[in-house]
Amino acid sequence: MPSVFSVLASSMTVATLASAHNFRRSEPQMPAQPASAAYNSNFCWGLYPVGGPCPIKNGTFDQYIDHSNPSLGTFKQRYWVNDEHYAGPGAPIILHGPNESAADRGIWYSTNMTADGYLAQEVKGAAIVIEHRYYGDSSPYNNLNSETLQYLTLDQSLRDLVNFAKNVKLHFAKDNGTHPDNAPWVYSGGSYPGALATWLQKLYPGTFWAYHATSAVVQPIAEYWQYYTPIEAAMPKNCSTDFKAAMRLLETKLKNAPNDKAKNDIKAKFGLAGLEDDDFGWAVIDGLQKWQGHAFTNTYATTPLYQMCDYMEGVPNNNAAGGPVPGEEGVGACKALKGLATWLKKVQMPGSCKNQYWSDPNSIACWDLHNTSSPLFTDRTPRNKWNTQWQWFSCNEPFQQWQASAPGVDTGLIPSFLTMKDLRDQCDRFFPDVNGKTFGLKNGRTTEDIVKLTGGWDYINTTRLVYVNGEYDPWIQETVSSPRRPGGPLQSTPEVPVYVVPKAAHCPDMVMANIWANEANTEIFHKVFKTLTTWIGEFYTEKGIAQPGSS
């Protein structure tokens, strides 16, 4: 069968790292498949030649709703297997960690367009994509509320993976040849699934043989204003200087507005009339938030952050007019704020809600998180477009990771009218008590409880786990490469390899197109690949058996 690469150019566009949602706060997510194959029964559509055989098969696994109480029953957890290059019983199994979204658009992670599928191809193994509990069609309940979401926890999610690896019956498996005792299972994930790699290693060791963790957010930070520090580093100096000045000017204008009408008139200049201050604040910094999805395959002109900067500096549309570009000093607060307002009103806001519940391209209803009658609040199905499930994780576990202002210590990029309290208050609006059940934050649970359980930055005694992070990733402050980590960023050793891709954003080594697009990223990928294949080989050496397909 032809390699995926041979049909890539004609069948689909190169993936970007932009997240597939329009949420009003960034969550750690991996890139999704860009083709319109979502929910299509032909899992190979856009990935393999039309009319040819499809090596991707789907299945469901009977997963416990509550691993501590099996009597509660099971739900069907979806997975997809690509055995195109599988050499037979005992060959490696590469499990792509479950992302916090429906997995329909993640099926392509089983192909050689991604690092996981590429690894499976080269070691003659099979690649599996599994759907996270409570997402897509893998939910025990169809109405998600404070009562039914009680089993969406970090611990249950980790135990899902262990149970799946030990007990799944794959369609091609023979003689128990895919059991972790007989074949090396490699867990690979980026972002939250990357953190699952580390947490699996610490809390449930022994099932997976090796781990690949990219942008692994192992140290959740409740008040995560540090999210914007790498973004500032990625911004042109004139833009970051002007953005800070513009935010101070905007704060002053709103503070001095004599009444609500005057305040709303200010917001109208940004195309955001009618929003509460905190929702307005999220919209104003949307250009910063979009940086998370930046890839080496993006051009300057297709990067929202740089588009925003051009408008602020008076050289819009990639300086189509050919005017002089301001120096590092910028253009000053007044001109910059006017340019930001123009960009938001004319470029960024139009159509921003269209892919959600609203057909009107001029609607800004998806930015309103105070209207609890909005479908953002009322759609409680597993395929809701807000990602109520991740909101639950933020409020219940609680990961929190609120990306708001912290005056006196933050970057200065965030307007002071977007506060940590504003974001915490969303928990009460999204999750009112149901039959006495509520969320963890309300019950006194803290983010520090997660760190104590998992070890956070300090858990470094890992076995066969490799880390990759991006220098300009907004989430790097929660990874082992964080400059805020006590003792500094974790240094790479043969036992615990750690790589940082220069100038990369989130999950830089998950998609092959992004890997090949940057020399440093390519070099690091080759090192990671060599490490993983060496570790896989050690499984067979330790067992005293030959690696299938190695001859």
Task: For the chain, 551 residues long, give each residue's pLDDT as a single digit of tens.
Answer: 334 433 332 333 333 333 333 344 556 666 665 544 444 557 888 888 888 889 999 999 999 999 999 999 999 999 999 999 999 999 999 999 999 999 998 999 999 999 999 999 999 999 999 999 999 999 999 999 999 999 999 999 999 999 999 999 999 998 899 999 999 999 999 999 999 999 999 999 999 999 999 999 999 999 999 999 999 999 999 999 999 999 999 999 999 999 999 999 999 999 999 999 999 999 999 999 999 999 999 999 899 999 999 999 999 987 777 878 999 999 999 999 999 999 999 999 999 999 889 999 999 999 999 999 999 999 999 999 999 999 999 999 999 999 999 988 999 999 999 999 999 999 999 999 999 999 999 999 999 999 999 999 999 999 999 999 999 999 999 999 999 999 999 999 999 999 999 999 999 999 999 999 999 999 999 999 999 999 999 999 999 999 999 87
Using CA atoms, how far apart are residues 284 and 163, in angstroms rounded to an integer?
44
Q: Give the three-class secondary structure for 281.
A: helix
Q: List, by residue range, all CATH 3.40.50.1820 domains of the chain.
A: 56-221+456-543
Using CA atoms, how far apart are residues 200 and 185, in angstroms rounded to an integer?
13
What number of CA atoms fall less than 13 Å from residue 167's CA on the CB side? 12
Among all residues, which ones are annotated catalytic? Answer: 191, 473
pTM of the model: 0.94
56-221+456-543 is a CATH 3.40.50.1820 domain: yes
Q: What is the 8-class DSSP label of residue 295?
A: -
Query: How many CB atoms are located within 10 Å of the residue 181 CB?
Result: 8
* Cis peptide bond prior to 398, omega within 30° of 0: yes
Tell me, what amino acid is at 399?
F
Comparing CA positions, the residue from 400, 295, 313 lying closest to residue 18 is: 295
CA distances 356 to 127, 208, 361, 384, Å, are 32, 38, 11, 9
